A and B are shown apart, each in its own frame.
Chain A
Amino acid sequence: MWWRSPSFILDRQQQQQQNDSVPPNPESLFLSSSPPSMADSLQNPKSNISAYYQTRAAHHAVVTSDWLAQAQAAVGRLPDDDDSSGSERKAAPTGGGGGGVRGGKVFSVINEFNNWRKQPDLAEAVAAIRALAAVIRASEATTMMELEIELKKASDSLKSWDTTSISLTAGCDLFMRYVTRTSALEYEDFNSARSRLIERAEKFGEISCKARRIIAMLSQDFIFDGCTILVHGFSRVVLEVLKTAAQNKKLFRVFCTEGRPDRTGLRLSNELAKLDVPVKLLIDSAVAYSMDEVDMVIVGADGVVESGGIINMMGTYQIALVAHRMNKPVYVTAESYKFARLYPLDQKDMAPALRPIDFGVPIPSKVEVETSARDYTPPQYLTLLFTDLGVLTPSVVSDELIQLYL
Chain B
Amino acid sequence: MDPRRTARTVSDPKVRQVGFFTPPPDHAISDPPRHHDPIQSPSQSSPPVNDRSPSDSSLSPVMIPPPRHHSDALLRTALQATSPTKPFSPSTRTVMIPPENKDLRSPGRKVVYGKSPSSFSGVKASSVPASELTTVSVVNLALGISVEGKILTAEEAGGASVEVQNDRRASSKPLKEKTSKAERRALQEAQRAAKAAAKAEGSKASSSASKVVTSENTKPIKATKPSSQKNDGSQVAASDKKGGDRAPEKDRKKDAPHPRMQYDDTSRVEKAKKRAVVKQTEARNRVELFRHLPQYEHGTQLPDLETKFFELDPMHPALYKVGLQYLSGDIYGGNARCIAMLQAFKEAIKDYSTPPEKTLIRDLTARISSYVSFLIECRPLSISMGNAIKFLKSRIAKLPLALSESEAKTTLMLDIDRFINEKIILADKVIVEHAVTKISDGDVLLTYGASSAVEMILLHAHELGKEFRVVVVDSHPKLEGQLLLRRLVRKGLSCTYTHVNAVSYIMHEVTRVFLGASSVLSNGTVYSRVGTACVAMVAHAFRVPVLVCCEAYKFHERVQLDSICSNELGNPDAISKVHGREEINYLDGLVNCENLQLLNLIYDATPSDYVSMVITDYGMVPPTSVPVIVREYRREHLWS
Contact = CB atoms under 8 A, between A and B. Distances in A.
Contacts of B618: 402, 406
Contact of A390 (B11, B16, B49, B438): B49
Nearest to A342: B620
Given A349-B438, A390-B48, A398-B621, A174 B18 contact: yes
B628 A339 contact: no
16 contacts: A178-B15, A178-B17, A182-B12, A199-B22, A207-B19, A307-B612, A336-B18, A345-B438, A345-B545, A379-B622, A399-B628, A402-B621, A403-B628, A404-B15, A405-B619, A406-B618
A207 B628 contact: no
A399 B18 CA distance: 12
B15 A177 contact: yes
Nearest to A399: B628
B13 A181 contact: yes
Interface string B559-574: 0000000000000000
Nearest to B618: A406
Nearest to B14: A181
Interface string A82-122: 00000000000000000000000000000000000000000
A341 B22 CA distance: 23
Interface in A175-227: 175, 177-178, 181-182, 186-187, 199-200, 203-204, 206-208, 211, 214
A395 B17 CA distance: 18
A337 interface: yes
A307 B624 CA distance: 9
A255 to B, nearest CB: 29
B632 interface: yes
A69 interface: no
A341 B434 CA distance: 12
A343 B12 contact: no
Contacts of B549: none
Contacts of A389: 1, 4, 18-19, 48-49
A337 B622 contact: no
B20 to A, nearest CB: 5
Contact of B621 (A214, A306, A339, A392): A306
B576 interface: no
Contact of A388 (B19, B47, B622, B628): B19
A399 B613 contact: no
B545 A346 contact: yes
Contacts of B1: 214, 388-390
A391 B20 contact: no
- Most-contacted residue by chain A among B17, B18, B19, B613 (CB, 10 A): B19
A258 interface: no
A395 B625 contact: yes
Interface string A330-349: 00000111010101011001
B621 A207 contact: no
A64 B232 CA distance: 91
B21 interface: yes
B62 to A, nearest CB: 13
A293 to B, nearest CB: 30
Contacts of B29: 186-187
B512 interface: yes
B629 interface: yes
A181 B48 contact: no
Chain A interface, DSSP helix/strand/loop, else mixed: helix
A178 B20 contact: yes
Contacts of B619: 306, 341, 402, 405-406
B601 to A, nearest CB: 30
A402 B49 contact: no
A345 B632 contact: no
A349 B437 CA distance: 10
A308 interface: yes
A203 B21 CA distance: 9
B12 A186 contact: yes
A207 B20 contact: yes
A211 B19 contact: yes
B512 A337 contact: no
Given A178-B13, A182-B13, A345-B613, A402 B20 contact: no
- Most-contacted residue by chain A among B1, B20, B618, B620 (CB, 10 A): B20
A398 B612 CA distance: 13
A349 B17 CA distance: 28
Given A207-B19, A341-B619, A390-B1, A406 B632 contact: yes
Contacts of A387: 19
Nearest to B23: A203
Interface string B591-632: 000000000000000000000110000111110110011001
A276 interface: no
A345 B514 CA distance: 13
A403 to B, nearest CB: 5
A29 to B, nearest CB: 41
Interface of B: 1, 4, 11-22, 29, 47-49, 438, 512, 545, 547, 612-613, 618-622, 624-625, 628-629, 632
Contacts of B512: 345
A113 B632 CA distance: 36
Contacts of B20: 174-175, 178, 200, 204, 207, 336-337
A186 B49 contact: no
Contact of A339 (B12, B18, B49): B18
Interface string A352-392: 00000000000000000000000000010000000111111
Nearest to A400: B18
A339 B16 CA distance: 14
Given A203-B22, A403-B632, A405-B619, 16 more contacts: A174-B20, A175-B20, A181-B14, A186-B12, A186-B29, A200-B20, A211-B19, A306-B621, A308-B622, A343-B613, A345-B612, A387-B19, A391-B49, A404-B15, A404-B17, A406-B618
Nearest to A346: B545
B625 A402 contact: yes
- Most-contacted residue by chain B among A199, A208, A389 (CB, 10 A): A389
Contacts of B620: 306, 343
Interface string A5-28: 000000000000000000000000
- Leading 9 A-B pairs by shortest Cβ distance: A336-B19, A395-B624, A390-B49, A390-B48, A398-B625, A345-B545, A336-B18, A337-B19, A181-B14
A398 B22 contact: no
Contacts of A187: 29
A301 to B, nearest CB: 13
A145 B490 CA distance: 46
B21 A207 contact: yes
A62 B438 CA distance: 37
Nearest to A217: B1
Contact of B622 (A203, A335, A395): A395
A379 B20 CA distance: 24
A344 B629 CA distance: 20
B91 to A, nearest CB: 59
Contacts of B547: 345
Contacts of A306: 619-622
A403 B19 CA distance: 13
A390 B4 CA distance: 10
A127 to B, nearest CB: 15
B48 A404 contact: no
B352 to A, nearest CB: 36
A113 to B, nearest CB: 18
B632 A404 contact: no
Interface in A38-63: none
Contacts of B11: 186
B312 to A, nearest CB: 45
A349 B547 CA distance: 14
A149 B477 CA distance: 55
Nearest to B29: A186
B613 A307 contact: yes
A123 to B, nearest CB: 10
- Most-contacted residue by chain A among B4, B17, B47 (CB, 10 A): B17
B512 to A, nearest CB: 7
A175 B625 CA distance: 24
